[in-house]
């Protein structure tokens, strides 16, 4: 037989093409409904929802969306807190082969409008408390709204249909749609500090592989666990490390729509919660609430905790482990990495580090030029990755199955972030000889005082060891003489009084002279985003004045 060029092209397309295999994030819930049909999937407001019930309700929601014409490749926005409806809507959209676009619950109308337009959303599913901002945004974007949690008889500026009502009348889907593993499953918008947020497009493969890598090698989780669900599901951390991972394991999730440390403690005690997954501000708040309640008060019998989102001060980790008797496992990642990239080994934890790369993911340290640093390497080539020796500071770069497909409608941003096949995180860190990564700080958060680099996380870790401090945020304020001046905002522990001069003297005793804060502000609370991070840019704006 003689082969023609066309035959060769066809063979190459077969070898390099997408193939016949399929994969869907929706399988996480669908398959657990088969395997754990009668087991509890969700605890919510004193009720327990089984896996079988949750999947049946999801299939009905999917039937209602299908009746509205939602199908493969359509984008559907979700603006729902951590209630069962988020899970139902999330997996319903995915089961139709459509793409989920979660929206930050604190977004205002203009921000919501931008996400709806940029994502090309065909429909928005919005919880009743978010309708006030979402209705005008959707109207300007020309996107129809379906509500959840809207009481019957409630008045709205425009007529709003209820997804729950349409689901009751719809024919439930029988199977979830098969999609290519590399097809888009989610568009998660990053909370940028300047300009509009960027939509990171995540594939079904990246999201599902995250879950499998976690369950096999990283997370100490089984179907017998009860997991705290206070991390917002619209965020990559809560969506992947809690919702998708728990459902894959067959564990139960305790839903808390809005984090409150006292309510969280009570809820975890009542439900016998075994795993606490949270960002550092939640750990600090829980310590404060438990201390205020007294040692005689009931505490959850946690056996394992997960921290991510930002660096957890070692002092906080040690206090938490002592108070709750549970191991705290730190990890690291970004929205663009689905999100987990590194995790501390439970058998060999290294407090103060972010551990080693997860299976199938490479994490290295590359030479990085930071604008304003005292000795930049002008010979560094921005178009190529140059790795630095073990122990040397540089930018954390990542490659692997966990990477996003790219930024939606923003090829320039995608190209800028990807160099030589490596995603540049914008985080500064080091890597030891045995592969353990330590994050130092965000490039954008680094303070340059008199030409010397000051890393806020290092100063924060020092201040957190002071006995009167419950929480701290260190940031740089523009200064005519020094370029930037080091400021610290602190919150006192319950019953304690903070002496600002004492804090300055404490840091001077432990860190170099150029690092200690020249100004200390005592605050009742920090500005916190919905994902639990301290909004340092707001502190900079407030105290720059």
Res. 222: pLDDT tops 70: yes
**Nearest-angstrom CA–CA distance, 101 and 124:** 9
Residue ranges with strand state E in 26-81 = 40-44, 47-50, 75-79
Residue 334: closest CA among 423, 248, 250: 423
Residue 181: closest CA among 278, 248, 108, 97: 97
Predicted local confidence at residue 3, as pLDDT: 43
Residue 184: closest CA among 58, 79, 74, 80: 74
By the 8 A CB rule, do 107 and 122 touch?
no
Res. 223: pLDDT tops 80: yes
Question: Residue 454: enclosing H or E segment and its boundaries?
Answer: strand 452-454
Residue burial 23-37, b: 16+ Cβ < 10 Å; e: rest: bbbbbbbbbbbeebe
Q: Considering the domain 206-405+416-442, what is its CATH architecture?
A: 3-Layer(aba) Sandwich (3.40)
Crossing angle of helices 109-119/131-141, nearest 10°? 40
**Nearest-angstrom CA–CA distance, 232 and 105:** 9
Res. 311: pLDDT tops 90: no
Range name among 328-342, 436-450, 491-505 with the lowest pLDDT average: 436-450
Tokens of 61: 């929601």
Strand 422-431 vs strand 418-419: parallel, antiparallel, or unpaired? antiparallel
Strand 184-189 vs strand 161-162: parallel, antiparallel, or unpaired? unpaired
Q: Is 51 helix (H, G, I), strand (E, B) or coil?
A: helix
By the 8 A CB rule, do 512 and 530 touch?
no
> CATH 3.30.300.30 occupies which residues in the chain?
447-544
pLDDT in tens, 201-216: 999 999 999 999 999 9
Q: What is the mean pLDDT of the chain?
A: 92
Q: What is the DSSP letter of 534?
A: B
For 406, other C-beta atoms within 10 Å of its C-beta total 19
Q: What is the DSSP letter of 119?
A: H
Q: What is the pTM of this model?
A: 0.87
Predicted local confidence at residue 16, as pLDDT: 86
**What pLDDT band is residue 9 in, cutting at 50, 70 and 90?**
low
Res. 378: pLDDT tops 80: no
Predicted local confidence at residue 483, as pLDDT: 83
pLDDT in tens, 20-59: 999 999 999 999 999 999 999 999 999 999 999 999 999 9
> CATH 3.40.50.12780 occupies which residues in the chain?
206-405+416-442
CATH class, domain 51-179, is alpha beta
Q: What is the DSSP letter of 297?
A: S
Residue burial 253-282, b: 16+ Cβ < 10 Å; e: rest: bbbbbebebeebbbbbeebebbbbbbbbbb
Range name among 65-79, 163-177, 521-535 with the lowest pLDDT average: 521-535
**Nearest-angstrom CA–CA distance, 78 and 126:** 6
What's the Rg (C-alpha) of the chain?
A: 24
CATH 2.30.110.10 for domain 447-544, yes or no, is no
Predicted local confidence at residue 8, as pLDDT: 57
pLDDT in tens, 481-535: 888 899 999 999 998 999 999 999 999 999 888 899 999 999 999 998 767 789 9
**Nearest-angstrom CA–CA distance, 407 and 394:** 24
Question: Residue 479: enclosing H or E segment and its boundaries?
Answer: strand 469-479
Predicted local confidence at residue 514, as pLDDT: 86
Res. 81: pLDDT tops 80: yes
Residue 52: closest CA among 68, 35, 65, 69: 35
Residue 170: closest CA among 251, 91, 62, 255: 62
Res. 412: pLDDT tops 90: yes
By the 8 A CB rule, do 83 and 127 touch?
yes
In what order do the strands lie in the sheet containing 340-343? 47-50, 40-44, 252-255, 226-229, 275-278, 304-307, 327-333, 340-343, 356-357
Compute the average pLDDT of residues 452-462.
Answer: 87
Predicted local confidence at residue 376, as pLDDT: 42
Predicted local confidence at residue 385, as pLDDT: 93
Question: Residue 327: enclosing H or E segment and its boundaries?
Answer: strand 327-333
Angle at 61 between CA 59 and CA 65, to 5 degrees: 115
**What pLDDT band is residue 237 in, cutting at 50, 70 and 90?**
very high
């Amino acid at each position: 037989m003689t082969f023609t060029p066309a035959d060769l092209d066809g063979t190459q397309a077969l070898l390099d093409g997408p193939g016949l295999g399929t994969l869907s994030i929706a399988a996480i819930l669908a398959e657990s409904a088969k395997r754990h049909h009668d087991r509890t999937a969700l605890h919510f407001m004193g009720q327990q929802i089984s896996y079988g019930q949750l999947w049946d309700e999801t299939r009905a929601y999917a039937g209602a969306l299908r009746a509205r014409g939602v199908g493969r490749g359509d984008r559907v926005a979700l603006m729902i807190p951590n209630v069962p409806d988020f899970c139902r809507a999330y997996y319903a959209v995915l089961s139709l082969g459509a793409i989920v676009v979660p929206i930050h619950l604190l977004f205002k109308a203009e921000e919501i409008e931008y996400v709806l337009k940029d994502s090309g959303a065909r429909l928005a599913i919005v919880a009743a408390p978010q309708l006030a901002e979402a209705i005008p945004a959707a109207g300007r974007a020309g996107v129809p709204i379906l509500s959840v949690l809207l009481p019957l008889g409630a008045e709205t500026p425009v007529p709003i249909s209820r997804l729950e009502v349409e689901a009751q009348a719809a024919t439930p889907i029988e199977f979830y749609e098969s999609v290519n593993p590399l097809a888009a499953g989610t568009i998660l918008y990053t909370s940028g500090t300047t300009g509009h947020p960027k939509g990171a497009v995540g594939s079904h493969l990246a999201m599902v592989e995250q879950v499998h890598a976690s369950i096999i090698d990283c997370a100490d989780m089984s179907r017998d666990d009860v997991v705290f669900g206070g991390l917002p599901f619209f965020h990559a951390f809560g969506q992947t490390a809690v919702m998708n991972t728990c459902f894959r394991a067959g564990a139960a999730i305790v839903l808390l729509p809005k984090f409150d440390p006292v309510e969280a403690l009570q809820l975890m005690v009542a439900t016998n919660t075994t795993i606490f997954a949270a960002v550092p501000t939640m750990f600090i708040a829980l310590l404060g609430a438990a201390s205020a309640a007294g040692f005689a008060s009931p505490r959850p019998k946690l056996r394992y905790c997960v921290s991510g989102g930002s660096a957890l001060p070692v002092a906080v980790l040690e206090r938490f482990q002592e108070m709750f008797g549970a191991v705290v496992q730190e990890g690291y990642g970004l929205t663009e990495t689905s999100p987990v990239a590194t995790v501390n080994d439970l058998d060999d934890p290294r407090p103060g580090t972010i551990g080693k790369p997860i299976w199938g993911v490479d994490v290295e340290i590359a030479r990085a030029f930071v604008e304003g640093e005292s000795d930049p390497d002008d010979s560094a080539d921005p178009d190529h990755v140059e790795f630095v020796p073990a122990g040397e500071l540089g930018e954390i770069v990542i490659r692997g199955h966990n990477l996003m497909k790219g930024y939606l409608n923003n090829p320039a941003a995608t190209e800028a972030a990807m160099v030589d096949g490596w995603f540049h995180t914008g985080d500064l860190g080091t890597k030891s000889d045995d592969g353990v990564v330590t994050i130092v700080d965000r490039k954008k958060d680094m303070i340059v005082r008199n030409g010397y680099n000051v890393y806020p996380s290092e100063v924060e870790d020092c201040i957190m060891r002071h006995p009167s401090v419950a929480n701290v945020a260190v940031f740089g304020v523009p200064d005519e003489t020094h370029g930037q001046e080091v400021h610290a905002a602190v919150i006192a522990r319950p019953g304690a009084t903070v002496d600002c001069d004492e804090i300055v003297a404490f840091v001077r005793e432990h860190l170099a002279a150029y690092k200690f804060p020249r100004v200390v502000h005592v605050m009742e609370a920090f500005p916190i985003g919905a994902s639990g991070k301290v909004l340092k840019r707001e502190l900079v704006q407030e105290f720059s004045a």
